[in-house]
Amino acid sequence: MANNSHNTSEDIFSTDPIDRFPTHSTHPPLFDNEDDDTDSDHNEDLFVSTLESPPMDTKTTAKNNTIEDPMNDLMASHEIDLDDEEDSYGKNGLNVSSAGEAVNGRQPVGPLKATLPSESSKAILSTSSSVTSGANETLKTNVNSRTEDQLNANAANKSASNEKHITITVGEPQRIGDGMSAYVVYKVETKTDYPYFRRSHFSVNRRFSDFLGLHDKLSEKHLHLGRIIPPTPEKSAVGMAKVKMSSKEESLSSAQFFEKRRAALERYLNRNASHPTLCADPDFREFVELDTDLPKATNTSALSGAGVKRLLSRMGDTVNKITFRMDESDPWFEEKQNQIESLDQQLKKLYTSVEALIHHRRELTQTTGAFAKSAAMLGNCEEHTSLSCALSQLAETEEKMEQLYSKQVDNDFFYLAELLKDYIALIGAVKEAFHQRVKVFQMWQHSQQMLTKKREAKAKLELALKTDKISQANEEVIEWESKVSRGQEEFESVSKTIRLEVERFELLRIRDFKTNIIKYMESLLESQQQLIKYWEAFLPEAKAIA
């Protein structure tokens, strides 16, 4: 039996056991006295030898699978932590720790221990290895993901730092001339770092008709391609007639009309400037940069020949929209058109409500002012001193509230009403872009129908053996085939452009609504806080009435 045990030891340890252990020992100790430096060196060699040993003979009993140690029972109480395998296990699945290190977060209670895995422990260690491998893959994925996110963030920051900007400001209008020949010019000031502008800061004077002419030029060049062209502010013949018929002194009372138009023109130019294609257009660059008068836009008048043609064209497009229904094959366009229609209806309803709100708040402003005057007059007639002072203080408070309400009316108008009005007009431009796609589709279908007719005519000529006309018919077929191919390409190009334009429109719409609503809410909060201060200042006066 001793010989069998000795042979087993020889199978376990690849080095010569005679040099390390007495031959009479059945179970050689793993380490001798730790105080002996020489023995410690041998123990270290022994431990390495054990790690590098070949698998045990299958005839070896389970009893000999473990090299016994006096501290085995105590060390067995320490659980194996599968979540930290790389720190706890060597390559062969052995639990390895040094005397001065913690094992799985615990301080060791005895000398080193090396346990050879049994069949069950091998399965556990195999599972642990797979878990650790998966954890390592997950860690690598997370690291790669974080690295990619960091690179994307750095690229975004770099892109933001390299992003070009353009800001356009429309200044206060100036009236030129008198009577019906008078007109108004607006100072358009531009600051930009785009390379295709000759300067970084410049200003020009433009009439309202120049803005209308710019819109017509951009629509003519880009609308048929599927671009969303921002609409210009509406003309107000009544407002301008009042300005022309009034004197320069009386025109100061129409400052609100000019302020509304100025703000609308500024928004119009900045919308064009924010579009990468429209901003680079030569007509747009000429409009904001050329420091001379532009050619007069004669076709902007409603009574001109171009205006009549434009009106008839719009009527024809309206009839076409009503009578023609396109069999939509792309569900994205069908869904977007339904969303645009629903959004248009809801914005119009909201705009009507905001207009009613502005009307009622304006009435509140006027009523508050009338109340302030009445309170002041009553205070002057009152003989009681403290009551007269309180009424006078109340009148001053109401006057301040009148100014506050008037300011809030302006905030209602510029932050809500104008925003809704602009986007109702922009939705009209989006619908116009969708209609351009329908028109391209109609032209494509017409080309296909004509191609079919030409092919039938060619086939009839071939059957009739009219060789003198076959060549001409063949040329016509080739011509219409090219038209069909161009129509299909144009339809696909317009569809792709509209997709990009609508996505950009949605992003800008969300940004604009967020910005304006935040500003509007801040104005409301500021107004209410100021209102509380007014009443808190008046309260001691009211309590002081004897």
Q: How far apart are CA 129 and CA 123, in angstroms?
A: 10
Q: Which amino acid, 259?
A: E
In degrees and rounded to multiples of 5, residue 324 shows phi and psi of -100, 130
Q: How far apart are CA 260 and CA 272, in angstroms?
A: 19
Q: Which amino acid, 177?
A: G
What's the burial of 265, exposed, middle or buried (CB within 10 Å: 0-12/13-18/19+)? buried
* Residue 300 pLDDT: 56
Q: Domains for the chain: give ranges and CATH numbers.
A: 2-136 (no CATH), 167-299 (3.30.1520.10), 333-546 (1.20.1270.60)
Walk along the chain (546 residues) and give the pLDDT tens digit of each residue. Answer: 444 444 444 444 444 444 444 444 444 444 444 444 444 444 444 344 443 444 444 444 433 444 444 444 434 444 434 444 344 334 343 343 333 444 344 444 444 343 444 444 444 444 444 444 554 554 455 545 455 555 555 554 544 445 668 999 999 888 887 766 778 899 999 999 888 888 889 999 999 999 999 999 999 999 999 999 999 988 866 556 555 555 554 554 577 788 889 999 999 999 999 999 999 999 999 999 998 888 876 665 544 555 556 555 666 666 556 556 677 778 999 999 999 999 999 999 999 999 999 999 999 999 999 999 999 999 899 888 889 999 999 999 999 999 999 999 999 999 999 999 999 999 999 999 999 999 999 999 999 999 999 999 999 988 888 888 888 999 999 999 999 999 999 999 999 999 999 999 999 999 999 999 999 999 999 999 999 999 999 999 888 887
Structure tokens given for 417: 């009403």
Contact 307, 300 (CB under 8 A): yes
Alpha helices in 163-304 (DSSP H): 208-222, 237-245, 255-274, 276-279, 282-289
- Token match 């509007």: residue? 520
Collect all residues with Cβ–Cβ distance below 8 Å to 417 and sequence separation of at least 6.
Answer: 351, 354, 355, 358
What's the burial of 371, exposed, middle or buried (CB within 10 Å: 0-12/13-18/19+)? middle
Measured in whole angstroms, the distance separating CA 53 from the mean position of its chain's CA atoms is 62
* Residue 283 pLDDT: 94
* Residue 299 pLDDT: 60
- Of 511, 513, 453, which is closest to residue 480 (Cα–Cα)? 453
